[in-house]
Structure 1
Amino acid sequence: MNRALNFNAGPAALPEAVLKEAEKNWLDFNGTGMAVMELSHRSKEYQAVHDKSISLLKKLLSIPDDYEVLFIQGGASLQFSMVPMNLLSKGQTAQYVLSGSWSEKALKEANKIGKTFIAASSKDQKYRFIPEYNEDGDLDNAAYLHITSNNTIYGTQWHSFPSNEKTPLIADMSSDILSRPLDMSNFDLIYAGAQKNLGPSGVTVVIIRKELLEKSSDELPSMLNYNTYAKNNSLYNTPPTLAIYLLTLVLEWADKEGGLEQIEKMNEEKAKILYDVIDESDGFYLGHALKDSRSRMNVTFNLHNEEASKDFLHQAKEAGFVGLGGHRSIGGCRASIYNAVPAEHVQKLAEFMKAFKNKN
């Protein structure tokens, strides 16, 4: 069977080795005579999977002991609400940096909970770059600063992060977590939907500094309170067991690949292949993001006119490439090159782009 040349933005490609391992254990997980999604979430067999996933996350991301790792459902979109519900106290202001559509949506939900402030924005420039955040003004009443580390729609990415000891930093890392090493001490809460670099959709990873848990009010509904998950090892109710099992396999794969230092190197090399084609095309391909804000996860570009873009996408589909259409909100083209997308597939796309330019 030929694997698709999959450049979907999410749900996205999974490592082939992970899928083969899951297939091998599909009907009989560890001699139980059951598939992993048939196991009780209270069983010792599933508990081992659950705990291993948390342990591998802590290892790969170098998460210190003063953080909790939580597994929550509802995707990053639920976190848009849970973050302010748990952390935005009365009399405080939540700061948001707008760098794309997802940060806009996070701000929209926070506005329903409490007072917010736009700390920086590149919206008026069509989100072509990561805006500069200035730590000016009175931050004494700031509940937190929220950023989106990678913007899938516009193809921009934070390459260095804000640092302010007085204001907790919250990051939506749904589309670039596990793509590079992080200094966890810079962050107070990270959340990430799994369907880009971590595994299939269904589970959201939340990494939170333990002292922040004190801000969560007991008046919150149980399933919207971070403490519910922290106190119960994310087993208060039935978790998405299959998604967590596949997350564990992805983390094992990343560890075997050499950890995040090696994965970052591979991602840099893959991104360079495509950006070189764009930069050397004499304007035939037009990158959306400014060079110093370019994403290593989502390469966004247009062709010199709309008709050419349509023709490019049509021929790319015929050639076996999947998921190259830009987001419906802005159009154009987008190649999502997450961790699991092989370098050979990226090279094939680069060759196709060169050949298409030469023909046209």
Structure 2
Amino acid sequence: MSRVINFGAGPSALPESVLQEAALGLLDFDGTGIGIAEISHRSKQFTAFLNDVESLICTQLEVPPTHSILFTQGGGTGQFSAIVLNLLARHRLLHPDLANEDRVLDYVITGSWSKKATEEARRLGGGRVNVVVDARPYSKDAKSFDNIPPHNTYTFSPDPALIYYCENETVDGVQFSSDVSSPNSFPFHLLPQEGLLPLVADYSSSFMSRPITRLADHAVIYAGAQKNIGPAGLTIIIVRNDCLVDVDAAAKLGAIPVPISMSYKTLADGNSVYNTPPVLPIYISGLVLRRMKELGGVQYFEQLNKRKADKLYAAIQAGEDKGLFKAKVQEGSRSLMNVVFDVIGDEAKFVAGAEEKGMKAIKGHRSVGGIRISLYNAVTEEQTDAIVEYMKQFVSDTDTQGQA
């Protein structure tokens, strides 16, 4: 069987060596004679493996002891709800007499997913949503998500229940810079300066692709696994321990009741096996994390991913110079993970030509169209070189035909 190059945005490519190892584990996990998809989540073998996965994340991301790692289901969309409910419960315990209309939820909107997260916060209620900044007015057409807004446009609340941002927007190809001195970085220096910040970050499409900027300052970091480290079905949450609150006590004071499977404290107290976790995705993610460690961890992949993205953006620029490609995102705000651009002219021909060469899943998200090439960790530099070479050839062929 011939495998193609998968540039899909998720579920995304996984390392072939991991898939081969996982196939063996489906038949026999850790010498038990039971496949990983069949074994009890409370068995000593799986419990040991789960602890190892937690350690691999903590070590590679340098997670401080003030934070816990949780494994659950629901994906990023499930966390849109969970972060609101858990942090409203925390805020209720801290400020029991505050009226709901005086509880503020701060949201930074830089793309489709942060927009959806904001809409879910409004739907759940329990507090007033403050849009700290919306990137669309600062776009080239005043309506698209193509930028990280200037720092002087952010308006944070003095004591919000949560402060949310999405580190990398998978649909729109927009990402905060990891350089805190960059004007395209998240403005940590503008956050309220007193107390433990209720800072929440969605890292779903960039988790484990590079170190997390100022991780210790976050209350919650969450990520669906299906971009960089595993198959769909697993959500990884890094939560500061002061956010592991008694949600039932908060409900008695008037907070919105939190479903038991969404309670961070319940998950933490149960060591992520309060109910059956997504065992198979955890197993495959663990194999990916072991491989990452052997290769040099997130620092290795940060450099690799930057090289891949630089090559791809250079190819887009070369096509743009010829009037055949158009980058969608402003310089400085461009994602290392999800590279988006338009083909000026025959986009269908471009997609078909790539598929003929075994390069698939490059069409943009249905909501925005265009081309999207995702460069997650499992996409190799050689595979990136292949799409870059195809883009150069497409530009050359089209340019020659235009001159004929």
Class of the TM-score when normalised by the shorter of the 2 chains: over 0.9
Checking the alignment, whether the CA contact within 8 Å between 1:300 and 1:326 is kept in structure 2 is yes
Task: Tell me whether 1:84 sits opposite 2:122 in the alignment.
Answer: no
Aligned partner of 1:100 in structure 2 is: 111
Shift of 1:319: 1.7
- Per-residue CA distance 1:245-281 (angstroms, 9 max, x = gap): 1111111011111011111000000001110111122
Checking the alignment, whether the CA contact within 8 Å between 1:86 and 1:215 is kept in structure 2 is no
Checking the alignment, whether the CA contact within 8 Å between 1:71 and 1:239 is kept in structure 2 is yes
Task: Tell me whether 1:120 sits opposite 2:158 in the alignment.
Answer: no
Task: Tell me whether 1:143 sits opposite 2:139 in the alignment.
Answer: no
Aligned partner of 1:187 in structure 2 is: 218
Task: Tell me whether 1:229 sits opposite 2:273 in the alignment.
Answer: no
Question: What letter is aligned with 1:235?
Answer: V
Aligned partner of 1:284 in structure 2 is: 324
Identity %: 41
Counterpart pick for 2:201 among 146, 166, 171: 171
Over 3 Å counting, the alpha-carbon distance change for 1:137 and 1:301 in structure 2 is closer
Q: Secondary structure at the match of 1:292?
A: coil
- Per-residue CA distance 1:181-200 (angstroms, 9 max, x = gap): 12312322101011001210
Unaligned runs of 5+ in 2: 92-99, 178-184, 252-257, 399-404
Distance of 2:44 and 2:261 partners within structure 1: 24
Aligned partner of 1:303 in structure 2 is: 343
Distance of 2:155 and 2:217 partners within structure 1: 20
Counterparts of 1:4-83 in structure 2, within 5 Å, are: 4-83=4-83
Distance of 1:290 and 1:330 partners within structure 2: 16
What TM-score do you get using the length of structure 1 for normalisation?
0.95
Shift of 1:140: 2.8
Aligned length: 358
Shift of 1:178: 0.4
Shift of 1:2: 2.9
Unaligned runs of 5+ in 1: none
Shift of 1:133: 4.3
Shift of 1:314: 1.6
Shift of 1:136: 6.6
Distance of 1:173 and 1:216 partners within structure 2: 25
Counterpart pick for 1:109 among 106, 112, 120: 120
What TM-score do you get using the length of structure 2 for normalisation?
0.85
Q: Secondary structure at the match of 1:30?
A: coil
Distance of 2:146 and 2:248 partners within structure 1: 38
Higher alpha-carbon Rg: 2
Distance of 1:292 and 1:95 partners within structure 2: 24
Distance of 1:169 and 1:140 partners within structure 2: 13
Over 3 Å counting, the alpha-carbon distance change for 1:162 and 1:216 in structure 2 is farther
Q: Secondary structure at the match of 1:142?
A: coil
Checking the alignment, whether the CA contact within 8 Å between 1:120 and 1:133 is kept in structure 2 is no
